[in-house]
Amino acid sequence: MRLVSSIDEMQSLSRDLCKQGKAIGLVPTMGYLHEGHLSLIDLIKQKCDFTILSIFVNPAQFGIGEDLEKYPRDLNRDLELCREREVDLVFAPQDSEMYPSEYSTFVQEEDVGSGLCGVSRPTHFRGVTTVCAKLFNLCNPDFVALGQKDAQQVVVLKRMIRDLHFPIEVLVGPIVREPDGLAMSSRNQYLDLKRDAALVLYESMLAGRKIVEEKGVRNAERVKAEVMSVLTKNSVIRVNYVEIVDRSTMRPEREVQPGHSLIVVAAWLNEVRLIDNLAL
């Protein structure tokens, strides 16, 4: 396995791989890898000749007062996990190369990312699309693997790839959960003794899905009310949003469309912001 931090070296290597006709797969991450990330490696290796995993804590997707400085980092641990999964190359660039002084160019998707997380984090998706556009240009992937946990981010990036004509196929891996149902996230380490309280997000969505599947409820407001009734029983939870959306557009729905609708939830547990989603 090769570790590359230089932008010039990464771009040169990817060009050589393209000339050799190699199918390149990219798993973009911010590091502190968990089984969710590792499952994306397994997914993309089925399609590719050469697998790249990027590790970059992207400052452009953090807002003022967010957790950029304390975001968990452990490069040596991540590299060992990548070796075990037989990743071919880890790309871990420096902030100063990705965003040099006087950097002023950004990529922004203006539809999918405007609602839900885009309301409370107005610059977040601009940071995501910008860094991914840069990674795509540097790594030249034929395939990119994204996790369903970040459902809105997946749709935003699909839209950017479509609109900007990147010749990339998106593979979406399912949410990987802990045995108790908590969706795996690098930020879960912040939870400590609050972990049991965090489980209410998954429990609330299961309650919403139950009335759809067992009682035939299709009215989105009724499903949202059921989810909210479970979420708000826990006094330490502050709800950011609960919505029923079309999973391909992330637009709110009035009626549940089985196979197409998604419950999406965001909430604060003290200072930790959690997101999750569940298919209906």
Orientation angle between helical segments 124-139 and 7-19, nearest 10 degrees: 50
Catalytic residues: 37
User: Along the chain (280 residues), what's the average pLDDT of each consecutive run of 10 residues?
Assistant: 98 98 98 98 97 98 94 97 98 98 97 97 97 98 98 98 98 97 93 85 98 97 98 91 98 96 95 95
Per-domain residue ranges of the chain: 2-173, 186-279
DSSP letters, 163-198, are HTT---EEEEEPPPB-TTSPBP-GGGGGTGGGHHHH
Question: What are residue 175's phi and psi, to 5 degrees?
Answer: -60, 135
The model carries a pTM of 0.97
Domain 2-173 adopts which CATH fold? Rossmann fold (3.40.50)
What local confidence, expressed as pLDDT, does residue 23 receive?
Answer: 98
Whole-number pLDDT of residue 235:
82
Question: SS3 of 273, please?
Answer: strand
* Residue 234, pLDDT score: 83
Say what the pLDDT of residue 87 is. Answer: 98
How far apart are alpha carbons 217 and 64 in whole angstroms? 40
In CATH, the number for domain 186-279 is 3.30.1300.10
So what's the pLDDT on residue 194? 77
- SS3 assignment, position 15: helix
